[in-house]
Amino acid sequence: MIRNQVVDPLFSQCPVRNVLSRIGDRWSLLVLLALHDKAEAMRFSEIGKAIPDVSQKMLTATLRNLEADDLVSRTIFPEVPPRVEYKLTKRGLTLIPLLNQLVDWSLENMGAIIRHRKKYAM
Amino acid sequence: MIRNQVVDPLFSQCPVRNVLSRIGDRWSLLVLLALHDKAEAMRFSEIGKAIPDVSQKMLTATLRNLEADDLVSRTIFPEVPPRVEYKLTKRGLTLIPLLNQLVDWSLENMGAIIRHRKKYAM
DNA sequence: CGGGATCCATTTAGATACTG
DNA sequence: CAGTATCTAAATGGATCCCG
């Protein structure tokens, strides 16, 4: 089979892999879903509370990446104390249905998968 | 907002995160798509060729994880030289449409995302 | 052929302290 | 409040050698 080396996700340099690796990382999916759940802008610390085990450093890095990818917008209010609000961009919003499908699939399958893992481990 | 601590993907111990982290790793998605592309059983070395930059070690580890999760089946043929075939399970097949949607989304958005990243980097 | 085992380099993540 | 900087620990990935 001849593959298109630009768009084929199996090709090593493929941008699709680049894009998917971002949402596939440990925190991005959770941040996007938290923002969508809330349905309005959230502050840094608010997102941190919604995801109890994310470190400050990783939350910062994740938000920067999502911002760079135009999935989340960041607005700084020049006040004292400073306030920064995050919300989904239009593009970020288009990704939500897909993420929800993944969550649904996980919910439907996780029981069987975890049982299978245990059986497999023995 | 009160969250269900068993099924909520934002809860730190949530199995959904556990399940998604598997398909979100570097190689699992590619292996699943390769197996689906081929539409029949594939041998170890054949999968390796379809994903040029995966190391033997990581391919082995990825296949073991997918097998433990009941997404890929592994059949050993007791021949000389030995032959081992991998194929999607029923459960693995149910995941394919979702993965394809993610690929499609990436194809539609990657151009804009990469442009946005460059602008953001300056 | 299809791995397992080992060693090593790289990457990633967390804890802590500090700052505008 | 919302980060940055630094150090360290842990996970990941690759190269190599070996074996049934």
Question: What are the domain boundaries of chain B?
Answer: 15-121
CA pair distance A84, A41, nearest whole angstrom: 9
Q: Which one, of B20, B77, B54, lies nearest residue A33 by Cα?
A: B20
* A13-70 pLDDT, tens digit each: 676 787 788 877 889 999 999 999 999 999 999 999 999 889 999 999 999 999 999 9
CA pair distance A120, B11, nearest whole angstrom: 26
The structure's pTM equals 0.89
C-alpha R_g of chain A: 18
CA pair distance A115, A106, nearest whole angstrom: 14
Report the 10 Å Cβ neighbour count for B79.
7
Q: Which tokens belong to A3? A: 């593959």
Q: Which residues have C-beta within 8 Å of that of residue B79, sequence separation ≥ 6?
A: none
* A80-114 pLDDT, tens digit each: 889 999 999 999 999 999 999 999 999 899 889 98
Locate the chain B residue with the closest alpha carbon to A71: B113
Q: Label residue B39 left, alpha or beta by phi (over 0 means left) and psi (-120 to 50 means alpha).
A: left
- A107 to chain B: which residues are within 8 Å by CB? 7, 16
CA distance B90 to chain A (A): 12
At B12 the pLDDT is 63
Question: Which has the higher per-residue pLDDT, A117 or A92?
Answer: A92
Beta strands at A42-43 and A83-88: parallel, antiparallel or unpaired: antiparallel
Looking at chain A from residue 28 to 87, which residues have their Cβ under 8 Å from any Cβ of chain B? 29-30, 33-34, 37, 50-53, 67-70
- Which CATH architecture best describes the domain A15-121? Orthogonal Bundle (1.10)
